[in-house]
Amino acid sequence: MYTKEFEIHTGNRAVVHDLTKQATAYLAECDVDNGLLHGWVPHATAGLAVLETGAGSDHDLLAAIDDLLPRDNRWRHQHGTGGHGRDHVLPAFLPPYATVPVLDGALALGTWQSLCLVDTNVDNPVRRVRLSVLAG
């Protein structure tokens, strides 16, 4: 198994950050033909998702999160920016992990799929992402 960890600077706003290029570059370093790429975000307020980006779906996802988990003061977990408690609920809906098959040395994503970090926590501008490859 191969593992690499890197930082993503998400800034001070909710973001969907496409990790596909980093994952593809890392996969090339591992020189694995077939197996699994597993992503992990060691944070209590971020998640990973496989979705289409660049055509508005990333913005739609953030809007859906805002609708489902409003950034207001209903949350018992209260510290940091107002409504931050909802960020701690996010990983129950978007888990901090995702696994993608590797076939013939490439991520076996669908035509419009990307591996993405979803971070709604405006109080933490730097995230760590850990990628591991299990060769098959």
Q: Is the pLDDT assigned to residue 81 strictly greater than 90?
A: no
* 12 alpha carbon, distance to own chain's centre: 16
pTM of the entire structure? 0.94
* Assigned token pair, 40: 């992990």
Q: Would you identify the CATH topology of the domain 2-135?
A: Jelly Rolls (2.60.120)
Q: Give the orientation angle of helix 85-93 with respect to helix 57-68, to 10 degrees.
A: 120
For residue 49, what are the β-bridge partners? 116
- State the pLDDT at residue 82: 85
Report the pLDDT averaged over residues 40-48: 97
DSSP-based helix, strand, coil % in the chain, nearest 5: 25, 35, 40
More confident residue, 77 or 67: 67
**Alpha-carbon gap, residue 69 to 94, rounded angstroms:** 12
* Assigned token pair, 13: 């706003």
In the chain, what percentage of residues exceed pLDDT 90?
Answer: 90
- 69 three-state secondary structure: coil
- State the pLDDT at residue 118: 98
Alpha helices in the chain (DSSP H): 20-30, 57-68, 85-93
pLDDT digits (tens, 9 = 90+) for 8-40: 999 999 999 999 999 999 999 999 999 999 999
82-86, 93-97, 100-104: range with lowest mean pLDDT = 82-86
